[in-house]
Chains A and B, each alone.
Chain A
Amino acid sequence: MNDVIKVKIEKVEEILKNSHYNVYIPYGKGKDGKYELLSEKTSLPREAGEHKKISLPPKAIIFRKDEIIFKYRRVEDGIKLEENEFDNIEMIIFGIPPCDAHSFSVLDAALIDDYPEPLYFEKRKKFGIIGMACSRDGKFCFCTSVGLTPHSEKGSDIMIYPYGEFFYLKKVNNNLDKLWKNLEGFGIHVDDVEFERIIKKYDFSPNNFIFSAEDIVEKLNESFESDYWKRFSEACISCGICTYLCPTCHCYDIVDVGDETGGRRVRTWDSCQFPEFTAETSSYNPRMEAYKRQRQRVLHKFLYFYMNKKMFMCTGCGRCIKYCPVSINIAECVMRLGGVYEE
Chain B
Amino acid sequence: MNGMKFEPKIVAFVCNWCSYAAADLAGVSRIQYPTNVVNVKMMCSGRIDPLMVIDAFIRGADGVLVSGCHPGDCHYIHGNYLARRRLYVLKKLLVGIGIETERFRIEWISASESQRYSKVIEDMVKDIKRLGPLELSHGDEK
Contact = CB atoms under 8 A, between A and B. Distances in A.
Interface of A: 71, 258, 262-264
Contacts of B142: 258, 262-264
Sorted from nearest, which 6 A-B pairs have the closest CB atoms?
A262-B142, A258-B142, A263-B142, A264-B142, A71-B141, A264-B141
Interface residues on B, range: under 10
A262 B142 CA distance: 7
6 contacts: A71-B141, A258-B142, A262-B142, A263-B142, A264-B141, A264-B142
Interface in B13-47: none
Do most interface residues of chain A lie in helix, strand or loop, or is the interface mixed? strand
B137 to A, nearest CB: 12
A131 to B, nearest CB: 31
Contacts of B141: 71, 264
B101 to A, nearest CB: 29
A263 B142 CA distance: 5
A71 B142 CA distance: 8
Contacts of A258: 142
A223 to B, nearest CB: 44
Interface in B87-142: 141-142
A262 B140 CA distance: 13
A231 B54 CA distance: 41
B15 to A, nearest CB: 27
B64 to A, nearest CB: 19
A64 B129 CA distance: 37
Contacts of A264: 141-142
A263 B141 CA distance: 9
A258 B141 CA distance: 10
A264 B142 CA distance: 7
